[in-house]
Copies of this chain bind each other. A is one copy, B any other.
């Protein structure tokens, strides 16, 4: 029997009515002949309530108890979803993480999935069950305690089940109807993509398109799980949503697939740093230890044995970065003249696997920004992405200009 994994996020199961609506979607797939594994999140708001209680009780909480408390929201939804399906005469039952058992590491609150045995659930499919409803986000440690996979972990649960059960597809139902060429709130020409490659999705996700948890996309890429993102609030057809898949399945594609942005960036420059071997480690080691998420790094040309080192980080980590640098300077680990912080910048990126085989994308991007009078402060590139830091006030303008320049409103 072909098998589908369907995952419903918190807003998609936020009330009994919404659970019913989601169950009807599951029923449609069952009617087509699929066995289905449904992964559910907690009803929207529930996990935050539980997290709030834990934090209020114990600010530096024991993560094992945190997991025991916070995982309970998914258990409720799983049972209610199974009951709703049964009411529709669809044979269904619920599984909590430990019942599968979904085995994880002992890294409580951020556990990684180690193994998903398929025999328990497959045995029930063999007995005529059509839908296994599994509580997302949770597992069991080698010590037999409940673990959670970190926020958004239900996406990862879904992909891991799709890989373990060799599912035909993993459908992620959420409150948006797919992945767009850019944020529709910024450009009204934004177009929903029918397909996007895993690598592109990873770049878009980590750049701020918060549709799918990054880890779940990585996992899908590793096991080549076809992921579909679609809305639980629209009527669905077979071409609804966006399919996230291997690039080989994307026959025609634009050179650039999307324009991403990140609004609250800061550009930090260490002026006149001694340019010696190991200086980069001496700078970025302390920043990493201080929990600063450094993104772009640019080293200027060295003169007289000294150089300027520029990096970007989220704007709310500027103070942390300054403290870490000052401490390193005081400890004699680094030597610099000044630390300049520009907190009014944003990052804009164009992403596309087509870039690999097409020259001129960077040139087109820079020209387009120049035509709009947007000054580029920092440039960073990867194989399938070009990012620039610009003044924050030009961010919307830049996104719109790049969307136009690469004609993203047109399908390939």
Task: Please list the residues of chain A having a beta carbon within 8 angstroms of any beta carbon in chain B.
Answer: 16, 19, 50, 53-54, 56-58, 61-62, 64-66, 68-69, 72-73, 75-76, 78-80, 82-84, 86-87, 93-94, 96, 98-99, 144-146
Please determine whether A64 and B80 come into contact, CB atoms closer than 8 angstroms: no
Q: Kindly provide the distance from the CB of A130 to the nearest chain B CB, expressed in whole angstroms.
A: 14
Q: Kindly provide the distance from the CB of A128 to the nearest chain B CB, expressed in whole angstroms.
A: 15
**From B79, B87, B98, contact of A98 by CB (8 A):** B98
Please determine whether A78 and B82 come into contact, CB atoms closer than 8 angstroms: no
Question: In the docked arrangement, what's the CA distance between A39 and B94, Å?
Answer: 26
List 4 other contacts, CB 8 Å, given A58-B83, A65-B94, A72-B72.
A54-B80, A65-B79, A75-B75, A99-B145
Chain B residue with Cβ nearest A50: B76
For residue A62, which residues in chain B have a CB less than 8 angstroms away from its CB?
82-83, 86, 93
Question: In the docked arrangement, what's the CA distance between A78 and B69, Å?
Answer: 8
For residue A144, which residues in chain B have a CB less than 8 angstroms away from its CB?
99
Please determine whether A75 and B76 come into contact, CB atoms closer than 8 angstroms: no
Please determine whether B65 and A69 come into contact, CB atoms closer than 8 angstroms: no
Please determine whether B72 and A57 come into contact, CB atoms closer than 8 angstroms: no
| Given A65-B79, A79-B66, A99-B144, also A87-B57 (CB < 8 A) | yes
Please determine whether A72 and B76 come into contact, CB atoms closer than 8 angstroms: yes
Question: In the docked arrangement, what's the CA distance between A79 and B16, Å?
Answer: 26
For residue A80, which residues in chain B have a CB less than 8 angstroms away from its CB?
53-54, 57, 65, 69
Chain B residue with Cβ nearest A43: B53
The 9 closest A-B pairs by CB, nearest first: A69-B79, A68-B79, A58-B83, A72-B72, A65-B79, A57-B83, A72-B75, A65-B83, A65-B82
Query: Which of A54, A56, A69 has the largest count of B CB atoms less than 10 A from its CB?
Result: A69
Question: In the docked arrangement, what's the CA distance between A72 and B16, Å?
Answer: 17
Please determine whether B93 and A64 come into contact, CB atoms closer than 8 angstroms: yes
For residue A84, which residues in chain B have a CB less than 8 angstroms away from its CB?
57-58
Q: Kindly provide the distance from the CB of A10 to the nearest chain B CB, expressed in whole angstroms.
A: 16
For residue A75, which residues in chain B have a CB less than 8 angstroms away from its CB?
68-69, 72, 75
Chain B residue with Cβ nearest A84: B57
For residue A56, which residues in chain B have a CB less than 8 angstroms away from its CB?
16
For residue A93, which residues in chain B have a CB less than 8 angstroms away from its CB?
62, 64-65
Query: Which of A19, A62, A93, A144 has the largest count of B CB atoms less than 10 A from its CB?
Result: A62
Query: Which of A66, A76, A79, A87 has the largest count of B CB atoms less than 10 A from its CB?
Result: A79
Question: In the docked arrangement, what's the CA distance between A65 and B72, Å?
Answer: 14
Q: Kindly provide the distance from the CB of A22 to the nearest chain B CB, expressed in whole angstroms.
A: 12
Chain B residue with Cβ nearest A49: B76
For residue A145, which residues in chain B have a CB less than 8 angstroms away from its CB?
99
Please determine whether B68 and A54 come into contact, CB atoms closer than 8 angstroms: no
For residue A146, which residues in chain B have a CB less than 8 angstroms away from its CB?
96
Chain B residue with Cβ nearest A59: B87
14 sample A-B contacts, Cβ–Cβ < 8 Å, listed by A number:
A16-B53, A16-B56, A16-B57, A50-B76, A58-B84, A61-B83, A62-B82, A62-B93, A65-B83, A68-B82, A68-B94, A72-B72, A72-B73, A99-B145
For residue A99, which residues in chain B have a CB less than 8 angstroms away from its CB?
144-145
Q: Kindly provide the distance from the CB of A129 to the nearest chain B CB, expressed in whole angstroms.
A: 12
Please determine whether B83 and A78 come into contact, CB atoms closer than 8 angstroms: no
Chain B residue with Cβ nearest A71: B75
Question: In the docked arrangement, what's the CA distance between A64 and B93, Å?
Answer: 9
Please determine whether B68 and A96 come into contact, CB atoms closer than 8 angstroms: yes
